[in-house]
Amino acid sequence: MPAQTPLGPVDSSKVPRFAGFATFARLPRIDQVTHADVAVVGVPFDSGVSYRPGARFGPAALREASRLLRPYHPELDISPFAVAQVVDAGDIAVNPFHIGKAIDTLQAEAEALSSDGTKLVAVGGDHTIALPLLRVAAANHGPVALLHFDAHLDTWDTYFGEPYTHGTPFRRAVEEGILDTSAVCHVGTRGPLYGQHDLAEDRRLGFGIVTSGDVMRRGVDETVDALRQRIGDRPLYISVDIDVLDPAHAPGTGTPEAGGMTSRELLEILRGLAGTNLIGADVVELAPAYDHAEITAIAASHVAYDLVSLLALGVKQ
C-alpha cells in the first residue's frame, strides 16, 4: 500500500496566519492523523527553576510565534511537512506541585507517544524535563549522544538538597547510564560559575565544552566539524535551552547571561548537523513574561522548526 500523503499546515492563502487554531506551525493535531513521524509536544512545567519562573507558558508562546513559519526550508532543501507527517501532540499535563510526579508523568507520556517510532520535539517548560525525555530516548536507542546548547552546564548535583531541578538533569543522566559519555558536549556556555570545581566535575562526567566565545572565535563551520567528530553516527539527542542565545536575541528566559550566541549562529550550527542520527530533541526555558515583541518566542519557534526539519531529513532518507 502506498504511503499516505502527509497532512500539512493550514493553507495561509485561505486562512490568515493570525486566525485559526494555534498548533505548532498550524499543523494538524495528533488526533487528526493515523500516524506521526514527528510530534511537537508541549510540557508546561517550570517547578524546577532556580530564578525567574514562567516557562510553563513557553509552549503556548512558541506555538503562537510559529504561525509565520513556512513549509519549505531553503537551507536544508527540504519541505519537512511534505516528506514527514509532523503533528502537534498538545501538552503533557504534569503535576506543578511535585517534581518527582511530574517527571514520572512526562516519562510515561513520552514513552506512549514514541512507542510506534514517532520522534519527539518537546517544548518546555524548564530544563528539568530533559531527564525523563532522555530516559525514553535511551530506552528506545540505548545510551545516546547529547549536544546541549545552553549558557549553563546543568550538571550540578543539587539545589537546596533537591536532586531534580533545571540545573541537574545531565548529571542525573550520566549517573543513570543513559548518555554515551564519549559523545556529550555543551555548546554556548558562558558566565560566572560557583568555582573551578564546577568545570572539573563536568569534565569528570565526560562532557566537552564549546563556549559561546569559542563559537565566536572559531566560527560556525569549525564548531560544526568539532561537534560532528565528537558525536559520529551515534543516536543523537539535542537539548536547546533558549538562554544559549544572548539576551539581545532571547530576553524572555529565566536565567539570562550576557555574551551569548546569536540566533543566526545557533540556527547555522543546527543546520550543520544535517545527516547526523538525530532521534529526539527539546527546546526549553522560554519564559514569555520577560519577552519583548516575541523576540525569544520567534527564535525558539525557528529552533523547533529546524529540529523538526532535521528529523524529517531522517524520514526522507
pLDDT tier for residue 175 given thresholds of 50, 70 and 90: very high
The structural domains of the chain, ordered by start, are 24-316 (3.40.800.10)
Residues 6 or more apart whose Cβ sits within 8 Å of residue 177: 138, 143
Q: What percent of the chain has pLDDT over 90?
A: 94
How far apart CA 82 and CA 9 sit, in angstroms, is: 10
Summarised one tens digit per residue, pLDDT across range 72-81 is: 999 999 999 9
Beta bridge partners of 73: 78
pLDDT average, residue stretch 28-52: 97
CA–CA distance, 38 with 312 (Å, rounded to integer): 8
In this structure, are residues 46 and 29 in contact, taking their beta carbons and an 8 Å threshold? no
Cβ atoms 302, 257 nearer than 8 A:
no
- The pLDDT value recorded for residue 3 is 57
pLDDT of residue 1: 34
Residue 103 CA to residue 110 CA, distance in Å, equals 10
Helix ranges (DSSP H) in 124-280: 130-141, 169-175, 196-204, 212-218, 220-231, 263-271
CA end-to-end span of the chain, whole Å? Answer: 19
Q: Report pLDDT digits (tens) over 184-208.
A: 999 999 999 999 999 999 999 999 9
Residue 166 has pLDDT above 60, yes or no: yes
Coil, strand, or helix at residue 282? strand
Give mean pLDDT, residues 3-22.
86
Grid coordinates of 116: 510506534
Q: Are strands 179-189 and 236-241 parallel, antiparallel or unpaired?
A: unpaired
